[in-house]
Amino acid sequence: MKISIIKIGGNVIDFPEKLDEFLSLFAKFPGHKILVHGGGIMASRFGESLGVMPEMVDGRRITDQETLDVVTMVYAGLINKNIVAKLQALKVNAIGMCGADGNIIRSIKRPVKGIDYGFVGDIQEVNTKLIDHLLSGDLLPVVNAITHDAKGQLLNTNADSIASALATSLAKEHQVNLYFCFNKSGVLIDEKNENSIIPLINEDIYAELRRENVIHSGMIPKLDNAFEALEKGVNHVWIGKAENLYLAAKGKLSGTTIERSRYDLY
Ligand SMILES: Nc1ncnc2c1ncn2[C@@H]1O[C@H](COP(=O)(O)OP(=O)(O)OP(=O)(O)O)[C@@H](O)[C@H]1O
């Protein structure tokens, strides 16, 4: 089977018009597909309205019990069910899932090493058998950033890591492409210039861009996940603007392609 894993960033989810535009393109996206989302911006806003203030370390959310309650309500409830309803309206048979549903993603609470992230989960296992069944039955899984430890504990897990883990697990038996959609036109040389897209990044270019601080914050785990996915057999990884996903699927250059092999950009 050919499978596309598409991760949608919080900046797109947060704007209803942008989300609608993305979902109508996504609905037409060819072949078997899985949508992965978090929703950090909305979770922070809802948390604040309930008096649960966000606390971030290196772009990652510290998840105490109250924060876990908020992210579960927002990711697995509000955002997930809204996306599923919108896809159903587009005649796509979407099914919303957190990691506990059908034991689709099992994780383990991150051990404390210097920083205590609280109820944050590192992925251990993906139930590819169930995903195969769903995709074969023409269902479209919409997977959010809440996983579980199979002992009754829900855990907050990075959505980029979920997309990457789904892709690498499914790549053992299928041809898998991974797309990270966010609110910028790709990985940029100058973040303020949407035309400064870096069309292709390999390990050497990545190391240099990190040294020069061109790549920082949320882009670092995204690229780490991208390289790990390629190393573990994923066919193709793309990072770009949500609106350009359709062009990317048609092989038209409109974002950043991540590649393992050496390639001289300059
Ligand atoms: N060179 C770069 N080009 C583009 N964005 C960059 C670059 N370096 C760092 N970034 C940052 O990376 C961020 C994207 O990663 P981030 O994981 O925060 O976004 P996201 O996919 O929308 O996340 P989430 O799912 O958590 O909402 C951008 O908002 C940008 O600030």
Read off the tokens for 194.
């949407």
Residue 250 resides in a domain: no
Specify the pLDDT at position 248.
Answer: 75
The answer to whether the CB of 217 is under 6 A from ligand 1 is yes
Distance (Å, rounded) from C-alpha 108 to C-alpha 106? 7
Nearest atom within ligand 1 for CA of residue 180: 21
State the complex-level ipTM.
Answer: 0.96
The answer to whether the CB of 13 is under 6 A from ligand 1 is no
The answer to whether the CB of 219 is under 6 A from ligand 1 is yes
Distance (Å, rounded) from C-alpha 81 to C-alpha 78? 6
Closest by CA to 148, choosing from 119, 118, 111, is 119
Write the residue with the smallest CA distance to atom 6 of ligand 1: 219
Write the residue with the smallest CA distance to atom 21 of ligand 1: 9
The answer to whether the CB of 214 is under 6 A from ligand 1 is yes
Residue 240 resides in a domain: no
Nearest atom within ligand 1 for CA of residue 11: 22
Residue 51 among known ligand-binding residues: no
Nearest atom within ligand 1 for CA of residue 221: 17
The answer to whether the CB of 197 is under 6 A from ligand 1 is no
Which CATH number covers residue 154?
Answer: 3.40.1160.10
Beta bridge partners of 113: 115
Its pTM stands at 0.94
Q: How many residues does the chain have?
A: 266
Distance (Å, rounded) from C-alpha 186 to C-alpha 58? 21
Specify the pLDDT at position 261.
Answer: 61
Distance (Å, rounded) from C-alpha 144 to C-alpha 204? 32
Spacing of C-alpha 164 from chain mean position: 7
Domain that holds residue 80: 2-184
**Number of structural domains, the chain?**
1
Distance (Å, rounded) from C-alpha 142 to C-alpha 22? 14
Burial 38-50 (b: 16+ CB within 10 A, else e): bbbbbbbebbeee
∠ CA 117-121-125 to the nearest 5 degrees?
Answer: 160
Write the residue with the smallest CA distance to atom 17 of ligand 1: 218
Using only C-alpha atoms, the chain has a radius of gyration, in whole angstroms, of: 18
Residue 206 resides in a domain: no
C-alpha 7 – ligand 1 centre gap (Å): 12
Residue 257 resides in a domain: no
Residue 31 resides in a domain: yes
Specify the pLDDT at position 104.
Answer: 98
Residue 45 among known ligand-binding residues: no
Residue 125 resides in a domain: yes
Going residue by residue through the chain, which has 266 residues, state the pLDDT in tens, using 9 for 90 and above: 999 999 999 889 988 999 999 999 999 998 999 999 999 999 999 999 999 999 988 767 999 999 999 999 999 999 999 999 999 999 999 999 999 999 999 999 999 999 999 999 999 999 999 999 999 999 999 999 999 999 999 999 999 999 999 999 999 999 999 999 999 999 999 999 999 999 999 999 999 999 999 999 889 889 999 999 999 999 999 999 988 887 777 777 689 999 986 544 44
- CA distances to 42, 48, 224 from 238, rounded to whole Å, are 25, 33, 13
Q: Give the strand pairing for 105-109 and 121-126.
A: antiparallel
Read off the tokens for 28.
């037409």
Residue 216 resides in a domain: no
Residue 57 resides in a domain: yes
- CA distances to 12, 44, 63, 242 from 216, rounded to whole Å, are 20, 21, 22, 20
The answer to whether the CB of 76 is under 6 A from ligand 1 is no
